Every structure is written in structure tokens, then in C-alpha cells.
Structure 1
Amino acid sequence: MAVPKKKTSRSRRNMRRSHFALSKVNVIVDSQTGEYKLPHHVSLVDGTYNNRQVVTKKIKTEEEVA
């Protein structure tokens, strides 16, 4: 079984962890609905992108619900 030959110092440990930081997610407010959304993505609320309707919502029938 492999074991470390030397103890990893605090400096080396922290330098290794320096790339683990999380970055903030860029979120914008949709101009039509006022909901938050990711930039350059279709709005999940009404299916619009760049003020155009690109996705239509499917209406569930009573048979699909039951």
C-alpha cells in the first residue's frame, strides 16, 4: 500500500486547494417576465429567447394527468 514519504506542508496543501474556489453564477432578470434566468438561455417560464417565442408549452390533457 502506498504511503506518503514526507508530510505535506500547509503551504503545499493550500496551494493545491487554490483552484477549488467556486465562482458566482451570472444571473439576469428576464425583461418580459421579471424572473431570474441564465444569460443566453431560453426562459423557463414562457419559453422565449431574445424576445421571440421559441418553445411552446405542452398542455396536459386529463388522460395524461390521471
Structure 2
Amino acid sequence: MGVPKRITSKAKKRSRKAANRWTPPGISKDKKTGNWVRSHHVDLTTGMYNGRQVLTLKTSNEH
């Protein structure tokens, strides 16, 4: 069975734990529509990305 040669210091242990910290996803408000949009993702309500139309969305009355 493996046994540590030295005791792991508090700084080393806390530094290792800090790498696993959760960060919330980046979201921002669209200036034109006011919708909340994830960074680097297409706005699913309008189909816009980076100022241009990338998705064509069906309206509710089309089948």
C-alpha cells in the first residue's frame, strides 16, 4: 500500500481543491431584444449570433 513520504501542506491541498471550484456560465443581456443569452451561443428565440442571422425559425402558425 502506498504511503505518502511527506505530509501534504494546507496550501498545497487548498490549491488543489480550488481548481475544482464551480463557476457560473457566462450570460449577458442582448441589447436589441433584452433576452438573456449565453456567451458564444446562438440566441434561440431570434436565431441571431454575433449580429447575423444563423438560424431560420418557424413561426407558431406554420406546420
Q: Calculate the TM-score normalised by the size of structure 1.
A: 0.55
Give the C-alpha shift of residue 58 in structure 1: 3.3
Query: Per the alignment, in what secondary structure is the counterpart of residue 14 of structure 1?
Result: helix
Q: Calculate the TM-score normalised by the size of structure 2.
A: 0.57
Structure 2 residue runs without a partner (length 5+): none
Post-superposition CA distance 1:35-61 (Å, at most 9, x none): 1102332211110121x2221113562
Post-superposition CA distance 1:8-56 (Å, at most 9, x none): 6766543431211122322111122211102332211110121x22211
What CA distance in whole angstroms lies between the structure 2 residues aligned with 1:13 and 1:39? Answer: 32
Q: Quick check: which has more Rg, 1 or 2?
A: 1
Task: Give the share of equivalent positions with the same residue, in percent.
Answer: 34
Asked if 1:57 is matched to 2:51, the reply is no
Residue 41 of structure 1 corresponds to which residue in structure 2? 41
